[in-house]
A and B are shown apart, each in its own frame.
Chain A
Amino acid sequence: MKAPPLEQSPELVSLRRVLDESAAVPVLLFFATGVLWLLAGTVFGLLTSLKFDMPDWLAAIPALTFGRLRPAHLNAVNYGWASLAGAGCLLWLTSRLCMTPVRLRGGLIASVILWNLGVLYGTGAVLLGYGGSVEWLEYPLPAAAMIGAAFLLFAASILQTFRMRSVQHLYVSLWYTVACVVWFPFLYVAANLPIYSGVVHGAVNWWYGHNALAVWFTPIGLALAYYFIPKVIGRPIYSYYLSLLGFWSFALFYNWNGIHHLVGGPVPNWLQTISIIASVLMVIPVMAVAVNHHLTTVGHFRHLRSSPTLRFTVFGAMCYTAVSFQGSLESLRGMQEVVHFTHYTVGHAHLGVYAFLTMILFGAMYYITPRVARWNWPHPGLIKLHFWLTAGGISIYVIAMCTGGILQGYAMNESVRPFAQVIDLTRPWLIARSASGILITGGHLVFAYLFAQMLIHAGPRRETAPWEEAAA
């Protein structure tokens, strides 16, 4: 695709080179360790799933019992993979959008090290039986403190780079980036304070669990989608005003959603109700983003074929719309009566953190890595394979878990059905989920292989130098 001539001016090309060089070391460190956690987390996840199908397999090893593998999976993929890869993407993005080199790079190196030690300590602790049993907050306090400190170093770098910006215009992606590095530390500290008990602790748990998505993961995904969709297609975002409406309604409504995880539980009714209302109001920011992204893409679908970045990003952006509408519906009392406590919730969670966020992270990494590693992706065929294994895998995953979950929910709500029948009913869906997990694992192995080749500059040298182009 021919990029607009302005984008290709020699000054801009050499400025971009300076920016990418400033970002290279920290970004590659965040990416590389993120990919390692992706692999570890995938293994934990696949084992967790297989445990449902074969409960007597590896049953005598305490560290590999279901109840430890599951939180190890959740924490490794969220605080390891998605957070590290997301942080790397945001660093590069901030430098590009502020047109200034990445600042506080020494602090970033310390941040990566501390972050990884925190995740290693925390995940090890969970596997060895020292997990806290509070979903999303299982890590022991020292591990959480390490991750918190690492996050502050990362946030300081983003804010300092932002302060030194040499541009007037603040693009939408920057709003989300700056907001999330300010939001997350407050959230993480407030939730990890060891002062709660009883039902209030339950409320804090889900205020946090949902907000980890609201103020950290979703802003990453949206910042990247807002950047890469117009960038790759080569036309501006459809509407600036929609972006503005999307951002502020997102900021207002999303962090009131958490208590919809406790609908029907022993928390005050009014509290459940306001969370349900806020969840429904999420339709506003989601529509704003969906319309904006879709109207930017429409008529340019041919780029999906040539650009892996766009293919992953558009898949992710579509899943954002899907998961958000699903979430608004799911929070309603009638729906919660059936699907709360079932595998449906797990399907929904993966539609969010995987089909939306992780796919967008893959897309962004396909764009960023060649520019910071100064090497082109070898084997375009393998990139396609990676896409189809993960996109196919996660689609099967979500369909299996949501269908199985609905059946499970209805069966559980038929009081005459013995519980054993409910278990039998879910079995085939859980097997389908394990099969999808094998596809996804395959996709991750392909991606890790490609990424390793980029780091060591292996594979066939391809002619075009991507960092000289405006578009992928």
Chain B
Amino acid sequence: MSEIASSTWFTTAPHWGWLIVFYYLFGGLAAGSYFIAALIDLIGRREDRPIARMGYFVAIPCLMVSGVLLLVDLYRPDRFWHLFLQSNTMRPIFQYWAPMSIGSWGIIVFSLFALLSFLAALAESRHLSWGWAGHLRPPSIVGRVIAVLGILMAMYVAGYAGVLLAVTNRPLWSDTPLLGMLLGVSAMSISASLLLLIARWRGLKFPGVRSLDRFDSWVIGLTLLVLVAVIVSLGSVARVWLSLWGALLLVAVLVGMIVPLFMRWRSARSAQTSALAAVMVLIGGFILRTVIVFTQQGIQP
């Protein structure tokens, strides 16, 4: 037993499996799409507004899926409201030191902003006849406030997921403080890829489509750096990846990061290449989340 790498080796794995992998995927896509949309709305070109609209449209269904996944993952979904109300006093419960608590509230608050922006996007695309709803998006003052607060909440939702893993005692998860950063940064990259894919598929030609490409490439570069930092910070714990999970991580890095970067660099202006690269980034993002969630599961005392 002298070869244990960390005291985290003596703990029990929670039953967080595929539902959580998909939650991390859809939650990340919701947060990232909103983030990109609101950013374009705030500082982008006017002609790129349809891309922002697309982002708001993507965020809501992704949020709904991720909410259902979280609910179903509870062993007692009928008691999900215990996360928000003290069950015996009916008083609201908020524990700023418990990521599960702040995260649950964070998703609720983020959903509110995402919904407002969604209504604005609907109104602008004339699917909704409430003229006032259009003001919930920039350039109006109210719209700006919503976008700024929404961006902050989106970044929060993208990042807390990894903090939740860190604030445990499981091997890998709690052996580095960097998984939140990794998942958060990667969420932005997969979201940019999803928006790119939709834009390419619809044949959109706005200058913003190329900006998405460029944004994604930079963020992928950043994700790679953070991943290296994760491995370094793990020290001897990193040997958990001398396994099938490590091989899968390598696949995630190649398929989801290195190859798409290379493809975009080689033929920067081809719409097809850009779409193919986007698909690969999404697949890589999914594999990355699978590896992060599952690696620790086999490690029991």
Q: Do A and B make up one complex?
A: no
Q: Which residues of B contact A (CB under 8 A)?
A: none
